[in-house]
Amino acid sequence: MRIACSIESFVDHSPTEVLDLVHAVGFRAIALEVSSRAPERDDRAASADVTSADAFVREITRRDLGVAAVAGRNVSFEIPAYVRDAESVLASASKLGAATVLLPSRDSPGASDWNEWLRAVCRMGDRAASMRMTISLDFRDAAYSHGRSMLEVVQAVDHPAVGLCFDTGRYLHDNPASSGEIALQRVCGHMSFLRLSDHSSCESDEDFPALGDAGGVDFARTFEIVRNFGFNGPCAMWLRPRHAGRASPAKWQSWLEHSLQHLERCGWPVNP
């Protein structure tokens, strides 16, 4: 199973620095965020806008890296804008050669425009399918994201090109009293992207350290579940240590290598 490296957390580092680091560790694919709006300056250099992505694509190609997934940033939930923003992200993903696009998910079936939003997602599913892509609904910023609600949303969408993203560490952060393993079993059949992160399961803690350091996620059991379900889709490692700050490239390399080693010890056929 090829595990990509999500580069959106590498704040204060240029895209070329990050790509050099990821390549040095041995990854062969990345996952990244792109803005759904006109290019804006912000402090997330590694997640730089790629609406004009030719130079960035050349940098990726030069390092023999692929793009496993693209996540949309600043996607509006207002229906006309949601369609516009999603189409922008799909266009960027196509330019980058990604087959999976992550879009933020609504989580309020009772909202007055719920059915309209479902139709918009299905429309984007049609668009993605025509581009040989898959959409993965991301519940990372949803008001509630327990396994049952995630399943309810993706089943309501009911589109063959639309699945869901499961984030192992974020799930613990949002549901400290819940079992991530049970939730993963519940949604695995509808999963189109797996984000591998770790967390202590304390809701107030925003620390997502190197895999294995927080101890909240049982990555051996996680692999057993996805293997039993036959999931072989894209997955990406996602780290955001609390005290990362302006961590040096050497420190980031240490965290990434430690995470890969932990996955390997847990039985993952690590082929970064």
Q: Show the tokens assigned to 167.
A: 């984030």
HSE-CB of 186 using CA atoms within 13 angstroms: 17
pTM reported for the whole predicted model: 0.90
Indicate whether 193 belongs to any domain. Answer: yes
> For 130-145, what is the mean pLDDT?
85
- What's the domain count of the chain? 1
Q: What is the per-residue pLDDT for 110?
A: 66
Residue 112 has pLDDT above 60, yes or no: yes
Average pLDDT over residues 223-235: 94
Portion of the chain with pLDDT greater than 70, in percent: 88
In the predicted model, is pLDDT for residue 213 greater than 70? yes
Domain presence at residue 243 = yes
Evaluate if residue 189 carries a pLDDT over 50. yes
* Domain presence at residue 202: yes
Identify whether 97 is part of a domain: yes
Determine contact, residues 132/161, Cβ cutoff 8 Å: no
Query: What pLDDT score does 42 carry?
Result: 44
**Domain contains 129:** yes
Torsion over CA: 28, 189, 218, 31 (sign): positive
Instruction: Note the pLDDT of residue 40.
Output: 46
Predicted pLDDT at 122: 97
pLDDT band at 242 (very low <50, low <70, confident <90, very high): confident
What's 241's domain CATH number? 3.20.20.150
Query: What was the pLDDT predicted at 49?
Result: 47
Residue 272 forms part of a structural domain = no
Q: What is the pLDDT of residues 29-85, one digit of tens each?
A: 999 999 876 544 444 444 544 444 678 888 999 999 999 999 998 899 888 999 999
pLDDT tier for residue 1 given thresholds of 50, 70 and 90: confident
pLDDT per residue as tens digits for the range 190-212: 999 999 999 986 656 788 999 99
CA-based nearest residue to 9, from 35, 47, 37: 47
Q: Provide the token pair at 189.
A: 């059949």
Domain that holds residue 231: 3-265
